[in-house]
C-alpha cells in the first residue's frame, strides 16, 4: 500500500502486454482453425467427388435397358457366385484360424500373425503373379494339379482363389480380435460350470465373437466383390468365366461406358451398405433397454 | 472341505505362493485376508483348477484335485472339482439373460427340463432377482449382477464356494447393503467357503475365521480375538495397524514378565520360556489410554511418557502418534482429545494393562 501509484502503473503495463499477446494468439488460433477447415473441405471433396461424378453419369432412362445387357448380367452373376463361395470358404478357413491365434500361445506365433496380414498390404498385381507361380501348371503346386488333370488359371476357380487370397485376411483379423478381447473370467466361469470345451466354444466364445466375425465376413465379401488386379493377372478376363464386375467395368470403359457406370454404382452401393452394417454392428450392445 | 499342502507357484521366477498350507473345515467360512498383490486370487485360481501349481497338493472334500499320487500327477479340470466361484469382476455371460446365466451349469448335469426350471426358479428367489429373470446383465446394478453370479455358482450345488472380493464390483454407496445380503446368504447356505478380501472389517463380518496371507504363505489363522490379541507375526501386526516393538524379556517379577523396549521397563503376562530372549511385542492402539498427568494409582498398569507428533482424525476416533523414544500409535475417541485438550507437541502419559501386551518370538524374522 506504500506506493499504490507505482503498483498501478505496473499493473497496467502488464495488462497491456498480455492484451497484446492474447490478440496475437487469438489471431493465430483463428487462422489455424480456418486453415484446418479448408484442409478438411478439400480432403472430403477429394474423397467424395469421384463417387458423385459416377452418379452424375447415370442415365435413369437407361437403367432398364442396361439391366438386360447380357454382358452386365453375366458379370453380376459371376461376381455374386464367386464372391459368395470365396466368402463361405473364407469363413471355414479363417474363423478357426483366428480362434487358434487368439487363444493359443506357441513358438513363432508372431511370424504367423504377420504372414496372415501380408495379403492385406500386398499389391494386387504382385498377388496375381504370386498365385500364378503357385497354381499355374508350371508353378510350385503345378505338378500336383497336373497329375489330377486340373488347370486353374483361366477358370472360375482361379477367381475364387484370388478372392480368398486377398480378402480372407480381413476375416482372420477381425475374428482374432473378437476372440482375443473376451474377458478371461467369463471364459473361466464357463469352464467351471461345464466340462465340455465344445459347449464353452459354441455357447460362450463364438457368440461373444459373433459381431466381429460378421463384420469381418461382410468386409471379406466386399473385398472379394471388388477384387481386380489379382483376378486379372491370375484368372484372366474371360466374359462369363472370369470376368467379374470390376473386370467388366475395365473392359467396357471405352466400348460401353454406360454399362461401366451401372456396374460401378452397384459396387458403390455394396460398399455403402457394408460400411453402414459394420457401423451398426459395432454399436449394438446386449440388453439395450427399449 | 478344502485342504492345501505346501503349495507353491511362481510367475517369471517370482514366488507368488510359497509353501502355503491351509485347511477350511466342512461348512466353515474362512476369510483370506491380505493386501493387493499378496497372491489371494492366484491361490483361488489354483483351487479352482484355472491355474496349475508348481508343487503341492490340494484336496476338495478329501479328493485330491492337484498333487502327486504315487507317481501319478493329478490335475482335475475346473468342472470336475465341484466348486462355485464368484469372480472379483462381473463375469456373467453378457449375451444371456439372467435366468440363462443361472441355469448354465445346470444344463451340464443332465437334469430334466423341469428340474432345471425348478432349480433356476428357486435360485432366482434366493437372490431376490425373480423380476430380473429376463433381463440382460448390463441392465442390472453391480450388486444385482454379483447376486446373479452367486446364484449361478450355486446352481450346480458345489461342495465348496470361492468368493473373490465379491463386494468390489458394487457401487460404493451400496457396498454395505451388499455385504449384509452376502452375510445372510452365507449363513443360510452352510457351505464350505473361502472368502477373499483385502478389507479387514469385511473379513470379520463374513467369516468364522481369518487367514492372513502374506509373503506367499498363510501368516496366521484364527478368529478375531486370536488375530488381534495373539498376533503371531510382524506382517500381520503391520497389516492390522497394530503397534509392534522389538524388545527383550528380562525376568519374572511378581508373577508377570518384565520386558524392556528401548530401555523402558514394561510388565506383561508371564511366559517363562521367553526369559532372557529377544521378543517381539504387539500392542493394539485402542488398548492405550492417554493421560495428561502421571497416573497416581499405578496398580500394575504400564505407563510411558512421550510427546504427541501427529493426530489424525478418523470417523469418530482419532489416531494419536506419540514419540516415546520410539513411535507408538494410540486410538481414542475424538471427544477424549477435546476433553483432555491435547494437541501436537504436548506431553502425554500412555497407560495400558500388562495383559494388552502380546509377546511372541517371531521365528520367521530371526531365521
Tens digit of pLDDT for each residue in B121-137?
Answer: 999 999 999 999 999 99
Tens digit of pLDDT for each residue in A200-210?
Answer: 999 999 999 99
Q: What is the pLDDT of residue B301?
A: 83
Average pLDDT value for chain B: 90
CATH of the domain at B190: 3.40.50.300
Together in a domain, B268 and B173? no
Round to whole Å and give the CA distance between A209 and A177. Answer: 8
Together in a domain, B246 and B300? yes
Domain boundary (B187, B214, B234) is at: B234
Which of A235, A290, A245 has its CA nearest to residue A269? A245
Chain A residues in contact with B137 by the CB 8 A cut-off are 286-287
Q: How many domains are contained in chain B?
A: 2
Cβ–Cβ gap A287/B137 under 8 Å: yes
Together in a domain, B103 and B215? yes
Domain boundary (B234, B269, B286) is at: B234
A203 touches chain B (CB under 8 A): yes
- Are A182 and A208 in contact by the 8 Å Cβ rule? The answer is yes
- Are B361 and B274 in contact by the 8 Å Cβ rule? The answer is yes
Cα angle for residues B279, B283, B289 (degrees, 5° grid): 140
Q: What is the pLDDT of residue A14?
A: 56
How far is residue B269 from each of residues A46, B256, B280, B357, measured CA to CA in Å? 89, 5, 14, 8
In percent, the amount of chain B with pLDDT more than 90 equals: 62
Q: Cα B216 to chain center, whole Å?
A: 14
Q: What is the pLDDT of residue A285?
A: 66
Which of B130, B185, B110, B112 has its CA nearest to residue B153? B185
All three cell numbers of B271: 511366559
Q: What is the pLDDT of residue A209?
A: 93
Together in a domain, B221 and B359? no
Round to whole Å and give the CA distance between A117 and B250. Answer: 75
Pairing of strands B256-261, B327-333: unpaired
Residue among A185, A194, A287 whose CB faces B89 most closely? A185
Together in a domain, B37 and B185? yes
Q: What is the pLDDT of residue B299?
A: 66
Round to whole Å and give the CA distance between A249 and A258. Answer: 10
Residue B65, CB half-sphere, CA atoms under 13 Å: how many?
A: 28
A183 touches chain B (CB under 8 A): yes
The stretch A1-16 carries a mean pLDDT of 51
Which of B159, B197, B152 has its CA nearest to residue B44? B197
Q: What angle separates helix B113-126 from helix B142-154, to the nearest 10 degrees?
A: 140
Q: What is the pLDDT of residue B367?
A: 40
- Are B310 and B321 in contact by the 8 Å Cβ rule? The answer is yes
Length of chain B: 367
Chain B residues with at least one Cβ partner in A under 8 Å: 45, 48-50, 77-81, 83-85, 87-89, 91-95, 104-105, 107-108, 135-139, 149, 152-153, 155-156
Q: What is the pLDDT of residue A18?
A: 66
The stretch A134-138 carries a mean pLDDT of 90
Together in a domain, B256 and B151? no
Residue A102, CB half-sphere, CA atoms under 13 Å: how many?
A: 24
A206 touches chain B (CB under 8 A): no
Round to whole Å and give the CA distance between B276 and B260. Answer: 11
The answer to pTM > 0.90 is no
Cβ–Cβ gap A193/B156 under 8 Å: yes
Q: What is the pLDDT of residue A6?
A: 47
pLDDT surpasses 90 at B21: yes
Q: Cα B269 to chain center, whole Å?
A: 27
Which of A208, A213, A207 has its CA nearest to residue A176? A213
Tens digit of pLDDT for each residue in B252-279?
Answer: 888 889 999 988 999 998 888 888 889 9
Rounded to a whole number, what is the distance in Å from the CA of B107 to chain A's nearest CA? 8
Paired with B162 in beta bridges are B85, B194
Which chain B residue has its CA at the smallest distance from A284's CA?
B95
Round to whole Å and give the CA distance between A212 and A102. Answer: 13
Together in a domain, B135 and B222? yes
Q: Which domain holds residue B188?
A: 2-234
Residue among A192, A204, A285 whose CB faces B138 most closely? A285
All three cell numbers of A56: 452424375
Round to whole Å and give the CA distance between A6 and B316. Answer: 53
Identify the residue with better confidence: A258 or B150. Answer: B150
Helices (H) then strands (E): counts for chain A: 13, 0
CATH of the domain at B319: 2.40.50.100
Instruction: Work out how many CB contacts closer than 8 A connect A with B.
Output: 79
Which chain B residue has its CA at the smallest distance from A289's CA?
B139
pLDDT surpasses 70 at B57: yes
Domain boundary (B200, B234, B268) is at: B234
Place of cell 457366385: A81
Residue among A186, A194, A204 whose CB faces B105 most closely? A194
Cβ–Cβ gap A286/B138 under 8 Å: yes
pLDDT tier for residue B366 given thresholds of 50, 70 and 90: very low
The stretch B135-142 carries a mean pLDDT of 92
Cβ–Cβ gap A190/B137 under 8 Å: no
- DSSP 8-state code for residue B98: H
CB atoms within 10 A of CB A18: 10
Round to whole Å and give the CA distance between B247 and A279. Answer: 70
Q: Which of A142-151, A280-289, B67-76 has the lowest mean pLDDT?
A: A280-289
Q: State in words which class domain A69-283 has.
A: mainly alpha
CB atoms within 10 A of CB A267: 17
Domain boundaries, given as residue ranges, for chain A:
1-57, 69-283
Q: What angle separates helix A206-226 from helix A156-180, to the nearest 10 degrees?
A: 150
Which chain A residue has its CA at the smallest distance from B91's CA?
A186
Helices (H) then strands (E): counts for chain B: 10, 21
- Are A165 and A127 in contact by the 8 Å Cβ rule? The answer is yes
Residue among A183, A192, A194 whose CB faces B85 most closely? A192
Sign of CA dihedral A19, A22, A27, A28: positive
Q: What is the pLDDT of residue A12?
A: 53
Tens digit of pLDDT for each residue in B65-101?
Answer: 999 888 889 999 999 999 999 999 889 999 999 999 9
Round to whole Å and give the CA distance between A70 and A166. Answer: 28
Identify the residue with better confidence: B365 or B238. Answer: B238
pLDDT tier for residue B32 given thresholds of 50, 70 and 90: very high
Place of cell 470345451: A197
Identify the residue with better confidence: A38 or B240. Answer: A38
How far is residue A141 from each of residues A147, A157, B13, measured CA to CA in Å? 10, 15, 48
Identify the residue with better confidence: B133 or A65. Answer: B133
Identify the residue with better confidence: B307 or B272. Answer: B307
Together in a domain, B241 and B270? yes
- DSSP 8-state code for residue A147: H
Tens digit of pLDDT for each residue in A178-194?
Answer: 999 888 899 999 999 99
For the beta sheet containing B302-313, the strands, ordered from the edge strand earlier in sequence to the opposite edge, are B289-291, B347-352, B302-313, B317-323, B327-333
Identify the residue with better confidence: A8 or B220. Answer: B220
Average pLDDT value for chain A: 87
Q: What is the pLDDT of residue B49?
A: 95
Cβ–Cβ gap B91/A286 under 8 Å: no
Q: Cα B228 to chain center, whole Å?
A: 12
Cβ–Cβ gap B105/A285 under 8 Å: no
Amino acid at each position: 500500500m506504500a506506493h499504490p501509484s507505482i503498483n498501478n502503473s505496473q499493473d497496467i503495463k502488464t495488462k497491456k502486454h498480455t492484451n497484446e499477446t492474447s490478440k496475437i494468439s487469438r489471431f493465430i488460433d483463428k487462422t489455424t482453425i480456418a486453415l484446418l477447415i479448408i484442409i478438411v473441405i478439400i480432403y472430403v471433396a477429394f474423397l467424395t467427388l469421384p463417387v458423385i461424378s459416377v452418379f452424375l453419369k447415370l442415365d435413369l432412362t437407361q437403367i432398364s435397358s442396361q439391366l438386360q445387357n447380357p454382358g452386365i448380367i453375366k458379370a453380376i452373376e459371376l461376381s455374386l457366385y464367386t464372391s459368395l463361395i470365396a466368402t463361405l470358404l473364407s469363413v471355414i478357413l479363417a474363423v478357426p484360424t483366428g480362434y487358434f491365434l487368439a487363444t493359443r500361445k506357441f513358438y513363432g506365433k508372431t511370424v504367423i500373425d504377420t504372414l496372415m496380414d501380408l495379403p492385406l498390404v500386398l499389391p494386387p498385381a504382385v498377388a496375381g503373379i504370386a498365385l500364378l507361380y503357385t497354381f499355374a501348371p508350371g508353378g510350385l503346386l503345378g505338378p500336383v494339379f497336373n497329375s489330377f488333370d486340373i488347370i486353374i488359371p483361366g477358370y472360375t476357380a482361379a477367381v475364387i482363389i484370388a478372392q480368398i487370397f486377398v480378402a480372407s485376411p480381413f476375416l482372420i483379423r477381425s475374428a482374432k480380435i473378437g476372440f482375443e478381447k473376451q474377458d478371461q473370467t467369463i471364459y473361466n466361469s464357463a469352464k467351471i460350470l461345464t466340462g465340455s470345451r465344445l459347449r464353452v466354444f459354441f455357447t460362450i466364445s463364438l457368440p461373444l465373437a459373433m459381431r466381429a466375425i460378421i463384420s469381418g465376413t461382410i468386409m471379406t465379401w466386399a473385398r472379394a466383390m471388388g477384387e481386380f488386379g489379382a483376378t486379372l493377372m491370375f484368372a484372366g478376363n474371360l466374359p462369363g468365366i472370369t470376368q467379374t464386375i470390376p473386370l467388366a467395368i475395365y473392359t467396357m470403359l471405352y466400348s460401353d461406358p454406360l454399362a461401366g457406370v451401372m456396374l460401378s454404382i452397384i459396387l458403390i452401393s455394396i460398399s455403402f451398405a457394408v460400411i453402414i452394417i459394420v457401423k451398426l454392428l459395432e454399436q449394438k450392445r446386449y440388453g439395450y433397454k427399449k | 472341505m478344502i485342504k492345501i499342502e505346501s503349495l507353491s507357484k511362481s510367475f517369471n521366477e517370482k514366488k507368488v505362493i510359497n509353501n502355503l498350507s491351509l485347511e477350511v473345515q466342512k461348512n466353515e467360512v474362512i476369510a483370506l485376508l491380505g493386501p493387493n498383490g499378496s497372491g489371494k486370487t492366484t491361490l483361488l485360481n489354483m483351487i479352482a483348477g484355472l491355474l496349475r501349481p508348481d508343487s503341492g497338493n490340494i484336496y476338495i472334500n478329501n479328493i485330491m484335485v492337484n498333487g502327486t499320487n504315487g507317481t501319478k500327477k493329478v490335475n482335475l479340470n475346473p468342472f470336475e472339482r465341484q466348486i462355485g466361484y464368484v469372480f472379483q469382476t462381473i463375469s456373467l455371460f453378457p449375451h444371456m439373460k439372467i435366468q440363462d446365466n443361472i441355469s448354465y451349469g445346470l444344463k451340464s448335469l443332465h437334469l430334466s427340463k423341469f428340474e432345471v426350471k425348478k432349480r433356476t426358479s428357486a435360485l432366482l428367489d434366493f437372490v431376490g432377482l425373480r423380476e430380473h429373470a429376463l433381463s440382460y446383465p448390463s441392465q442390472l446394478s453391480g450388486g444385482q449382477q454379483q447376486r446373479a453370479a452367486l446364484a449361478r455358482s450355486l446352481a450346480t450345488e458345489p461342495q465348496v464356494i470361492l468368493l473373490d472380493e465379491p463386494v468390489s464390483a458394487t457401487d460404493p454407496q451400496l457396498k454395505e447393503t451388499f455385504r449384509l445380503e452376502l452375510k445372510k446368504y452365507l449363513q443360510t447356505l452352510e457351505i464350505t467357503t473361502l472368502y477373499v478380501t483385502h478389507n479387514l472389517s469385511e473379513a470379520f463380518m463374513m467369516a468364522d475365521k481369518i487367514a492372513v496371507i502374506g509373503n506367499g504363505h498363510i501368516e496366521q489363522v484364527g478368529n478375531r480375538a486370536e488375530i488381534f490379541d495373539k498376533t503371531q507375526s510382524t506382517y500381520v501386526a503391520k497389516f492390522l495397524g497394530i503397534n509392534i516393538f522389538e524388545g527383550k524379556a528380562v525376568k519374572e517379577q511378581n508373577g508377570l514378565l518384565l520386558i524392556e523396549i528401548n530401555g523402558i521397563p514394561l510388565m506383561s503376562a508371564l511366559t517363562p520360556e521367553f526369559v532372557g530372549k529377544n521378543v517381539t511385542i504387539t500392542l493394539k492402539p485402542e488398548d492405550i489410554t492417554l493421560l495428561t498427568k502421571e497416573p497416581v494409582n499405578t496398580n500394575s498398569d504400564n505407563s510411558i511418557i512421550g510427546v504427541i507428533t501427529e493426530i489424525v482424525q478418523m470417523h469418530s476416533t482419532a489416531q494419536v502418534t506419540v514419540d516415546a523414544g520410539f513411535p507408538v500409535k494410540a486410538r481414542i475417541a475424538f471427544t477424549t482429545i477435546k476433553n483432555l485438550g491435547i494437541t501436537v507437541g504436548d506431553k502425554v502419559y500412555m497407560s495400558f494393562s500388562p495383559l494388552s501386551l502380546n509377546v511372541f518370538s517371531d521365528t520367521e524374522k530371526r531365521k
